[in-house]
Amino acid sequence: MKRTLEIALIFASLFVGLLHAQSITYSTFEVPEAATDDLSVQSINDSGLIAGYLTDTSGNTEGFTRTASGDITLLVDPLDTSTPSTTVAYGLNNAGTVTGYFWDTSASLYYGYFYTNGNWETYTVPNQPAGTDFATGGINNNGSFCGFVLQPPYTTYVNFVSINGVVTTFQVDGSNNEACFGMNDSDTAAGYYLDSAGLAHGWLRDSSGTITTINVPAASTTPGANPCISGNVGGTYVGGINDQGFISGHFFDKKNNEHGFIRTPGGKFIELNVPGAFQTAGGNIDNKDQMVGHWATDSACDDEGFIATINK
């Protein structure tokens, strides 16, 4: 029976240093293959290629890429032969390499992958115990990447980074579960963790191993119900970092409504809300200061994608 990588599937103003609303422009798009409320937009590269995942009307979870001109390619790892399928796409670099995880049907485990122009490569973290689930997350343009693993007895996720071929696993202090979704060309990794109460906190790990916690000042401090997400959620979810040090993601406010955010290298936070959105979830950010995510268009939580651009 499949286990679900639950931490990975949670997606999805008065502000410190808030930029004016006219400093952000939004464009939105649909992914027709997705069921109305099952779209997660995760990453964008410098050529405007977008990656994410969706669930279709038959219950298949599939990764996808979207070109700047709007062409959609669905991604199902060839080793994922189960019905319904489970292939999730997270990271993306300028070479168009996509990362994520898939259900390896013959092994009955989740494995990470790299996908580039129709070619698939399975990835597992070295020296892990039998029965471990794997996922690749952020990837940069120099061959370094990060992700997370779920070791038996399948209760706690642990991060890993692969830098110049050297793999290191680590946990953030206070973490109960964690995941890594971003890595820039300086080998700074970014992600979030859940504390013992289930509250999310963002984090950065530089190439020397120093970890910094990121919390949006307006984020909730107690998990609670959100109308578009099952279970209680709260806090700050970091989804990516670009080469200039802009950090992106989403957070839940004191009423547990969801908003995107960008944190500038100077430490100022920008709140993002697609105009007219019921909820807004932010993902990764590219080197052109374009952030992607998905937004609920109405109280039925029907999802579309968006690109938010900082106008400097």
- Could you report the per-residue pLDDT of 114-124, keeping only the tens digit for each? 999 999 999 99
Q: What is the 3-state secondary structure (H, E, C) of 114-167?
A: EEECCEEEEECCCCCCCCCEEEEEEECCCCCEEEEEECCCCCCEEEEEEECCEE
Question: Looking at residue 18, what is its pLDDT?
Answer: 45
Question: Looking at residue 7, what is its pLDDT?
Answer: 43
Hey, what are 87's tokens?
Answer: 């292939």
What type of residue is 67? T
What type of residue is 35? A
Sign of CA dihedral 286, 50, 114, 116: negative
Question: Looking at residue 215, what is its pLDDT?
Answer: 98
pTM for the predicted model, two decimal places: 0.93
CA of residue 152 relative to chain centroid, distance: 23
Q: Which of 121, 166, 174, 116 is nearest to 146 (CA)?
A: 166
Backbone angles phi, psi at 25, to 5 degrees: -115, 150
Question: Looking at residue 312, what is its pLDDT?
Answer: 74
Domains and CATH numbers, the chain: 6-310 (2.120.10.30)
Q: How far apart are CA 258 and CA 247, in angstroms?
A: 17
236-285 tens-digit pLDDT? 999 999 999 999 999 999 999 999 999 999 999 999 999 999 999 999 99
